[in-house]
Amino acid sequence: MRLNTRLLVAVTCGSALCQETFEPTDFNITDALLGYGVDVAALPQLASLVERSSLAGCSIACGSLGLLFGSQLISRNTSAYDQFTTSYWSQQQQEPDPYCIFKPAKREQVSIQVLISRLTQCPFAIKSGGHAAFAGASSIEGGITVSLENFNEITLATDKQSAIIGPGNRWLNVYSTLQESDVVVIGGRVANIGVGGLTLGGGISFFSNIYGWACDNVLNYELVTASGIILDVNERSHPDLYWALRGGGNNFGIVTSFNMKAIPLPDGLMWGGSRTSLQDNTSTTFPALINAFVNLGTEGAFSDPNAAQILSFTSYQGMNLSSAALQYAKPVANPPIFDEYRAIPAIVDTTSIRTLANLTNEFAASNPDGVRETYWAASYKLTVEMTQYVTDVFYEELPTVADAAGIVPAATLQVITVPQIEEMQKRGGNPLGLTPEEGPLLLLNMNVQWNDVADDQRILDFNRRVIERTVAHSKEIGAYDEYLYMNYASQFQDVIGSYGAENKARLVGIAEKYDTTGVFQDLVPGGFKLDGAPASS
């Protein structure tokens, strides 16, 4: 059921010019709910709100959703509640206590929840796979956590050119299902990551050097807007919103399905794994790895785009270790493009021909649930000097936290290659603000896991120092790039601001058009908002 099209477009006139907005100024939430079959007057607590649309809060919102949807609403002090709140990846995201958890199963139920939240002014969080690291990104204290887990559709089109993928899926089920039809979509590289967050923030895949990021391979978004209206958003229908959703996060609505371009991958087979190397204080292993990494990220990205890489530096029991995760988009053993890497001694090598699903399971093993986590992002021009500098600063700062219980510190390096940025320009482009001329970029993801709350502050400080020192150096040597990757950024980083002033202004304008009263800014406080870093807002 869709709302009366009379509500679709209105024209508001300021002093100088008239601007098209999506929602009329006299939009009536109770009428809109009636359009979805919900008679507010028949819901005891909501009835008192008909006249004054405010203040009564989450007790009324949760109570009404419970009356309407029964067991799809989970209340505090139940085992289902505890099971849900402990299911996030990071311990920090497990800490907020929502007033209730709502698990819609149909898109119209999402519309009803959004409208009830507006009527009661009850804030909410949107959760897909729950792998954002910091508290509140997809969890909320005192509000409604909307879990999209029931949106788990995976439907391949009969022509095998595209697939509808629900945001309740994790990448492992997506790949396992699609491999039976010899295709894949552009998505995450670790089994349990959610489709929703990864795709709305960007989405780097093993195949990105050929096809681009996940956000650039979405053909259509089905979106529930602030007015509860369900839209198909694509290159022709609402192209402004289509551009915004390709990296704009949760600022424009709740995505209830993604139609993604499907790519052939017979039997899901490819090649990949990790090579772990040890650096002692005299060896040349790390400099050699850095050379291999930079070469593959520059010329290598053009000479054989099937190749992908992730180079991590870490420390384990006082040893300096690196892990080069290498992948090839075809089931070819030891492809020559990796010869430079293979010449560097490794103490463990798991590379083999295997399925994509199998590879995502291997990478999941090193990312357990339920411990404390922080992720930070930075970008620089890709050079050997800059890459070596980032690595050196990571090891220089590490002693300040090396004794923290359960610490697994890592500086994870990737390249945003020129072919990846070229793919971003297709179908109207995306808001990330990257141009092929500024690439290739070195993308740093500082990521640390640990056990004790008592160590939070010094571990955050450690990450901040690595970012600040390397960014300062990059400015001195002309290697600075302002882009912050949403899916790796910390709560202290202003992601949308990093897209550039022009793109930010355009995103703000699109948000004002489709969400005139700012529902996804004010009532959805978690994640990366349009107006700055999460922790300062």
Ligand X SMILES: *[C@@H]1O[C@H](CO)[C@@H](O)[C@H](O)[C@H]1NC(C)=O
Ligand Y SMILES: Cc1cc2nc3c(=O)[nH]c(=O)nc-3n(C[C@H](O)[C@H](O)[C@H](O)COP(=O)(O)OP(=O)(O)OC[C@H]3O[C@@H](n4cnc5c(N)ncnc54)[C@H](O)[C@@H]3O)c2cc1C
Contact set with ligand X (CB under 6 A): 28, 30-31, 50-51, 53, 76-77, 97, 280-282, 318-320, 354, 358, 361-362, 395
SS3 353: strand
Q: Which class for 336: exposed (0-12), middle (13-18), buried (19 or more C-beta within 10 A)? A: exposed
Asked if 196 interacts with ligand Y (CB under 6 A), we say: yes
Name which position in 103, 118, 189, 354 contacts ligand Y (CB under 6 A): 189
DSSP states of 461-491? HHHHHHHHHHHHHHHHTT-EE----GGG--T
Phi, psi of 503 (to 5 degrees): -65, -35
Name which position in 130, 305, 409, 439 contacts ligand Y (CB under 6 A): 130
Q: How far is the CB of 100 from ligand Y (least distance, A)?
A: 17
Q: How far is the CB of 362 from ligand X (least distance, A)?
A: 5
Asked if 414 interacts with ligand Y (CB under 6 A), we say: no
Question: Of 35 and 203, which CB lies nearer to ligand Y in the complex structure?
Answer: 203
Asked if 449 interacts with ligand Y (CB under 6 A), we say: no
Which residues contact residue 396 at a Cβ distance below 8 angstroms, ignoring those fewer than 6 apart?
none
Which residues contact residue 457 at a Cβ distance below 8 angstroms, ignoring those fewer than 6 apart?
none
Tell me the window of 132-140, 232-240, 395-403, 474-482 that interacts with ligand Y (CB under 6 A). Answer: 132-140
Question: Of 66 and 532, which CB lies nearer to ligand X in the complex structure?
Answer: 66
Out of ligand X, ligand Y, none, what residue 492 binds, judged by CB under 5 to 8 A for its kind, is none
Nearest Cα to 334, choosing from 317, 353, 321, 316?
A: 353
Question: Of 474 and 491, which CB lies nearer to ligand Y in the complex structure?
Answer: 491
Please, what's the b/e burial string for 149-159 (b: 16 or more CB within 10 A of its CB; e: otherwise)?
Answer: bebbebebeee
SS3 348: strand
Q: How far is the CB of 223 from ligand Y (least distance, A)?
A: 8
Give the end-to-end CA distance of the chain in Å, rounded to a whole number: 37
Tell me the window of 73-81, 190-198, 391-399, 460-468 that interacts with ligand Y (CB under 6 A). Answer: 190-198
Asked if 226 interacts with ligand Y (CB under 6 A), we say: no
Question: Of 53 and 87, which CB lies nearer to ligand X in the complex structure?
Answer: 53
Distance of CA 306 to the CA centre of its chain: 24
Measured on CA atoms in the order 91, 96, 102, 107, is the torsion positive or negative? negative
Question: Of 282 and 536, which CB lies nearer to ligand X in the complex structure?
Answer: 282
Question: Of 30 and 445, which CB lies nearer to ligand Y in the complex structure?
Answer: 445
Name which position in 61, 114, 165, 200 contacts ligand Y (CB under 6 A): 200
Phi, psi of 173 (to 5 degrees): -70, -30
> CA angle 279-327-352, nearest 5°?
85
Residue 223: HSE in the Cβ half-sphere, 13 Å Cα cutoff: 27
Question: Of 402 and 505, which CB lies nearer to ligand X in the complex structure?
Answer: 402
Which residues contact residue 114 at a Cβ distance below 8 angstroms, ignoring those fewer than 6 apart?
224, 225, 226, 228, 254, 519
Q: How far is the CB of 272 from ligand Y (least distance, A)?
A: 12
Asked if 430 interacts with ligand Y (CB under 6 A), we say: no
Name which position in 98, 197, 228, 431 contacts ligand Y (CB under 6 A): 197
Out of ligand X, ligand Y, none, what residue 194 binds, judged by CB under 5 to 8 A for its kind, is ligand Y
Asked if 404 interacts with ligand Y (CB under 6 A), we say: no
Which residue type sits at 229?
Answer: I
8 Å CB contact between 416 and 439: yes
Q: How far is the CB of 19 from ligand X (least distance, A)?
A: 23
Q: How far is the CB of 64 from ligand Y (least distance, A)?
A: 22
Out of ligand Y, ligand X, none, what residue 127 binds, judged by CB under 5 to 8 A for its kind, is ligand Y
Out of ligand Y, ligand X, none, what residue 367 binds, judged by CB under 5 to 8 A for its kind, is ligand Y
Q: What is the CA radius of gyration of the chain?
A: 23
Out of ligand X, ligand Y, none, what residue 247 binds, judged by CB under 5 to 8 A for its kind, is none
Asked if 137 interacts with ligand Y (CB under 6 A), we say: yes
Which residue type sits at 269?
Answer: L
Q: In angstroms, rounded to a whole number, what is the distance separating the alpha carbons of residues 383 and 362?
A: 30
Q: How far is the CB of 535 from ligand Y (least distance, A)?
A: 14
Out of ligand Y, ligand X, none, what residue 356 binds, judged by CB under 5 to 8 A for its kind, is none
Q: In angstroms, rounded to a whole number, what is the distance separating the alpha carbons of residues 75 and 98?
A: 9
Asked if 198 interacts with ligand Y (CB under 6 A), we say: yes
Q: Which class for 83: exposed (0-12), middle (13-18), buried (19 or more C-beta within 10 A)? A: exposed
Tell me, what DSSP letter sits at residue 194? Answer: B
Q: In angstroms, rounded to a whole number, what is the distance separating the alpha carbons of residues 509 and 503?
A: 10
In the stretch 458-487, what mask flags binding to ligand Y with x, by CB under 6 A?
A: -----------------------------x
Per CB under 6 A, contacts with ligand Y among 382-401 are: none
Per CB under 6 A, contacts with ligand Y among 323-362 are: none
Per CB under 6 A, contacts with ligand Y among 488-527 are: 526-527
Name which position in 7, 40, 132, 311 contacts ligand Y (CB under 6 A): 132
What is the torsion angle, in degrees rounded to the nearest 10, for the CA atoms of residue 532, residue 257, residue 155 and residue 172? 30
Out of ligand Y, ligand X, none, what residue 395 binds, judged by CB under 5 to 8 A for its kind, is ligand X
Token pair, residue 528, equals: 């990366």
Q: Which residues bind ligand Y (CB under 6 A)?
A: 89, 126-132, 137-138, 148, 167, 188-190, 193-194, 196-198, 200-204, 249-250, 254-255, 367, 487, 526-527
